[in-house]
Structure 1
């Protein structure tokens, strides 16, 4: 895989960087978190006007036909600015899941709205017992004369606050609660209007100031046409969407680490102790070097992940996704935590920038399966390869992307 940016990709990276530097200041972000303003809508419209929402959507449905690398370039720059708009939840996770799951007519109807920002969808796949695993689904879809009755609960729905609709994972069951004809392992996806009766939505604040939704479906009626694709075909689409989202999240964390290191390096140059800059102290130089090494290791891991998604089979790709998720997530917590340490007390304050990068890293760790789960999946794969007479093929990950 060629990681040299072509002119279009370089232009994309530069345009997002300029926007974040000029129009997305930390003070404006803080104001948006504290007050209800129109800035979030203004920024989302700017994302649309610049083509960033459409970058990786299929060209035949109104997108720009870009690649995962385009998504990573955008997310990396958003990470530098700690963007709070639901780019990850709506423009990547939900949009890519829809593209993978929906039929042609459904894509014709929905994807152009996702590309121009007029429609926001959020993916409701996580449940209290799933811990980020899309294969663990207890929400049921019971067939009836009008279509299906959805009953259950979803958690950690990114972008749920202003979503116009939800893509909901469910298992089709018979009226007696037993598995339907599609079998016990079949997961289907349904499109649900956010204003539907029998749907309650509660927005909970996460540690970094962003929000996630808790959805309760109380025998919510949807039509048969609300199903995306065919019955029982939801899990591959979920894995596709989550792979895109994990890559975007990893790229976002790398952007955050870059910015945290830049802020810290500048602070050490101007802050003095014993009449000399802190940057002249060798021990602090060593800590900055450790932070830079973790950043570069994470960047290399992201490159390996992008190459794996493009070239590897499903099992190897899932393994690399788990490797990247736990390695980059832990590196981000280390780098941003060290940035706070090197700032001293000011790094702990709400009004100073650097602590917010650490908060984002903490939240990122629990999204899409935490570091411990993904590390356990990698350990299980390694154990499999060390067994005598093992197959060269990796086992399915215990945490599906």
Structure 2
């Protein structure tokens, strides 16, 4: 897989970086947090006008026909500025599950409005006891006439606080499998509670108390929703990991600049070899994370679903661990100022904690990898 950017990809990366530098300063972000806003409508409109929401959507449905690489380029720049808008939740998870599962008519109905920013989609799959990696859920869909009634609770829905339409996973007894349902935010019986996250962004908790949906609300084939959820989660993992890589790049640059100007006993801290070694360790962890992200991109493009899911879990565990290390070291090297909310470097660590929660946690990813290895060893395939 060629990771050298072509001219269009370079222009995309440059355009996102110009926006970040010009319109998304840390002070601007803090001002949005002060009024409790995690999704600026003007910023979301800018995302749409520049084609960032449509970058990885099919041209046939209003997108620009790009791939997960375009998504990652955008997310990496967003990570530098700790962007609050629900790009991963709505433009990636919500949109990609429709791409993977929707019929042509459903894609025509949902994706063009997602691409132009008019509709925000959110995937509601995680539950308290099951998490984002679950193959089955407690939410159930009961037959009611020609349609269904949905019962259950979904938690930690990325982008759910601002979504117009939810893609809800539920077990359908008549298929004994996972079915995805399109549910409008105003549907009677659907209750949404906003969940403020540690980094200032927001998710949602959904309670479905007999939500009535028609048969046509089933996204794709009933009982066959799990592959689409895993496809979307692979793209979402790449997005969050790219966000963390961008954050690590910025945190290391900020720390290096700080050590050049901060003096102790009359000399710059950056002249001390021990601190230079710590910066080198941070840079090494960044390169490990970047390499894992590249490996995930290659796997999404080339591997089978099972092999891809193994790499998803491997990447999520390693990149989050690297990010927590780098951000923790950045805070320490800044000293007391790094602990304050008024200084940017401490907020990167909060982003890593939120990413870990959204990705499902290291223990669940380790268990998923172990299950994959067990299956492959039994069948004589140990390619990992």
The interval holding the TM-score normalised by the smaller chain is over 0.9
Report 1:355-374 matches (<5 A): 355-374=346-365
Aligned residue in 1 for 2:95: 95
CA separation in 2, counterparts of 1:33 and 1:140?
36
Aligned residue in 2 for 1:324: 315
Question: Does structure 2 retain, via aligned residues, the 8 Å contact 1:134–1:238?
Answer: no
Aligned residue in 1 for 2:134: 134
Aligned residue in 2 for 1:398: none
Question: Does structure 1 retain, via aligned residues, the 8 Å contact 2:39–2:84?
Answer: no
Q: Is residue 57 of structure 1 aligned with residue 57 of structure 2?
A: yes
Question: Does structure 2 retain, via aligned residues, the 8 Å contact 1:134–1:235?
Answer: no
Aligned residue in 2 for 1:347: 338
Report 1:141-180 matches (<5 A): 141-172=141-172, 179-180=173-174
Q: Is residue 256 of structure 1 aligned with residue 247 of structure 2?
A: yes
Question: Does structure 1 retain, via aligned residues, the 8 Å contact 2:38–2:202?
Answer: no
Give unmatched runs, 5+ long, in structure 1: 173-178, 396-401
CA separation in 1, counterparts of 2:39 and 2:359?
28
Aligned residue in 2 for 1:392: 381
Aligned residue in 1 for 2:262: 271
1:393 shift after superposition: 6.0
**TM-score normalised over the length of structure 2:** 0.97
CA separation in 1, counterparts of 2:374 and 2:281?
30
Q: 2:199 is paired with a residue of what secondary structure? A: coil
Aligned residue in 2 for 1:5: 5
CA separation in 2, counterparts of 1:105 and 1:393?
41
1:39 shift after superposition: 7.4
Q: Is residue 313 of structure 1 aligned with residue 304 of structure 2?
A: yes
CA separation in 2, counterparts of 1:188 and 1:148?
11
4+ residue segments displaced more than 3 Å: 36-39, 379-385
Q: Is residue 111 of structure 1 aligned with residue 111 of structure 2?
A: yes
Matched residue count: 384
Q: 1:367 is paired with a residue of what secondary structure? A: helix
Q: Is residue 293 of structure 1 aligned with residue 284 of structure 2?
A: yes
Aligned residue in 1 for 2:197: 206
CA separation in 1, counterparts of 2:375 and 2:208?
40
Q: CA 1:127/1:46 → structure 2, altered by over 3 Å: closer, same or farther?
A: same
1:368 shift after superposition: 2.5
Report 1:21-60 matches (<5 A): 21-36=21-36, 40-60=40-60
Q: 1:14 is paired with a residue of what secondary structure? A: helix
Question: Does structure 1 retain, via aligned residues, the 8 Å contact 2:38–2:201?
Answer: no
**TM-score normalised over the length of structure 1:** 0.93
Give unmatched runs, 5+ long, in structure 2: none
CA separation in 2, counterparts of 1:199 and 1:380?
35
Question: Does structure 2 retain, via aligned residues, the 8 Å contact 1:204–1:214?
Answer: yes
1:160 shift after superposition: 1.3
| 99-108 vs 28-37, which moves further | 28-37
